[in-house]
């Protein structure tokens, strides 16, 4: 079995005594999130908390209860951020996060991409689909005070979306700018 696994791992590996090596980076602005009105965020928190309490009192599946509890945490964070956004106190946090740095390091036919922050896996999978032999490293060159989520996570109010400073479209910007850097390294 070990031999079969080893052959799978090394089947596509190309060895070179003189691999192409290169690196590029850029700084970009990401799309700042528009936070809801404080009143809406308060109502949302109460709805989400109510769902959690309802599931808990009904002795629902523990996984479903935990998901609802975490969503409640996200709703609390969303309310906090909505209040900060309304008062203008998020501007300083954005200044610390932006511009965001993207790095791409090429070694042979492989690309190592470094993005700041915690990024939903969907963006990494999309990048890998667009460019074979690409590995994404996150929390590199800084953090973004929360997640870069997907539109679905934002629309459904998942926990991670509640504490995200940036709009989900920022993930697409990261991919687009990364592909540009890889194209430059391909020349």
Other CB atoms closer than 10 Å to residue 80's CB: what's the count?
Answer: 15
Q: Are residues 77 and 148 in the same domain?
A: no
Q: Are residues 80 and 129 in the same domain?
A: no
Q: Are residues 102 and 82 in the same domain?
A: no
Q: 25 lies in a domain?
A: yes
Those residues whose C-beta lies under 8 Å from the C-beta of residue 182, and which sit 6 or more positions away, are 104, 106, 111, 113, 131, 134
Q: Are residues 57 and 128 in the same domain?
A: no
Q: Are residues 135 and 167 in the same domain?
A: yes
Q: Are residues 77 and 168 in the same domain?
A: no
Q: Are residues 168 and 138 in the same domain?
A: yes
- Please give the mean pLDDT across all residues of the chain: 90
State the alpha helices, DSSP H only, in the chain: 2-10, 38-57, 62-87, 91-97, 121-130, 151-156, 159-162, 169-186
Q: Report pLDDT for 87.
A: 92
Other CB atoms closer than 10 Å to residue 88's CB: what's the count?
Answer: 8
Does residue 8 carry a pLDDT above 70?
A: no
Q: Are residues 42 and 27 in the same domain?
A: no
Q: 176 lies in a domain?
A: yes
pLDDT tens digit string along 76-90? 999 999 999 999 888
Q: Report pLDDT for 93.
A: 87
Task: Using DSSP, state whether 181 is helix, strand or coil.
Answer: helix
Q: 13 lies in a domain?
A: no
Does residue 104 carry a pLDDT above 80?
A: yes
Those residues whose C-beta lies under 8 Å from the C-beta of residue 179, and which sit 6 or more positions away, are 127, 130, 131
Q: Report pLDDT for 100.
A: 95
b/e for 116-145, b at 16 or more Cβ within 10 A?
bbbbbebbbeebeeebeebebebebbeebb
Q: 59 lies in a domain?
A: yes
Those residues whose C-beta lies under 8 Å from the C-beta of residue 30, and which sit 6 or more positions away, are 97, 98, 100, 144, 148, 166, 167, 170, 173, 174
Q: 131 with 179: CB under 8 angstroms?
A: yes
Q: Report pLDDT for 19.
A: 81
Q: Are residues 131 and 147 in the same domain?
A: yes
Q: 81 lies in a domain?
A: yes
Q: In terms of Cα–Cα distance, which of 47, 167, 182, 163 is closest to 103?
A: 182
pLDDT tens digit string along 129-152? 999 999 999 999 888 888 999 999
Q: 181 lies in a domain?
A: yes
Does residue 155 carry a pLDDT above 80?
A: yes
pTM of this prediction exceeds 0.75: yes
Does residue 162 carry a pLDDT above 80?
A: no
* Number of structural domains the chain divides into: 2
Q: 102 lies in a domain?
A: yes
Cα–Cα distance between 3 and 29 in angstroms, integer? Answer: 47
Residue span of the structural domain in which 124 resides: 19-31+98-186
Q: Among residues 48, 65, 87, which one ends one of the domains? A: 87
Q: Report pLDDT for 145.
A: 83
pLDDT tens digit string along 68-79? 999 999 899 999
Q: 11 lies in a domain?
A: no
pLDDT tens digit string along 9-52? 556 666 777 888 999 999 999 999 999 999 999 999 999 999 99
Q: Are residues 44 and 127 in the same domain?
A: no
Q: Report pLDDT for 6.
A: 66
Does residue 164 carry a pLDDT above 70?
A: yes
Cα–Cα distance between 114 and 109 in angstroms, integer? Answer: 17
Q: Report pLDDT for 5.
A: 64
Q: Report pLDDT for 9.
A: 58
**Eight-class DSSP state of 99:** S
């Amino acid at each position: 079995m070990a031999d079969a696994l080893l052959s799978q791992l090394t089947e596509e590996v190309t060895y070179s005594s003189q691999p192409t090596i290169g690196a590029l980076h850029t700084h970009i602005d990401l799309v700042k999130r528009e936070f809801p009105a404080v009143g809406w965020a308060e109502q949302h928190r109460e709805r989400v908390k109510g769902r959690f309490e309802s599931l808990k009192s009904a002795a629902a599946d523990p996984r479903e209860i935990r998901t609802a509890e975490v969503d409640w945490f996200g709703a609390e964070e969303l309310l906090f951020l909505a209040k900060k956004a309304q008062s203008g106190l998020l501007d300083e946090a954005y200044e610390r996060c932006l511009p965001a740095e993207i790095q791409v390091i090429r070694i042979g036919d492989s690309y190592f991409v470094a993005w700041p922050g915690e990024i939903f896996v969907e963006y990494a999978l999309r990048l890998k689909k667009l460019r074979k032999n690409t590995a994404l490293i996150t929390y590199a060159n800084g953090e973004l005070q929360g997640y870069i989520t997907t539109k679905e996570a934002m629309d459904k109010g998942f926990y991670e979306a509640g504490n995200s400073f940036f709009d989900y479209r920022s993930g697409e910007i990261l991919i687009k700018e990364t592909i540009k850097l890889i194209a430059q390294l391909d020349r």
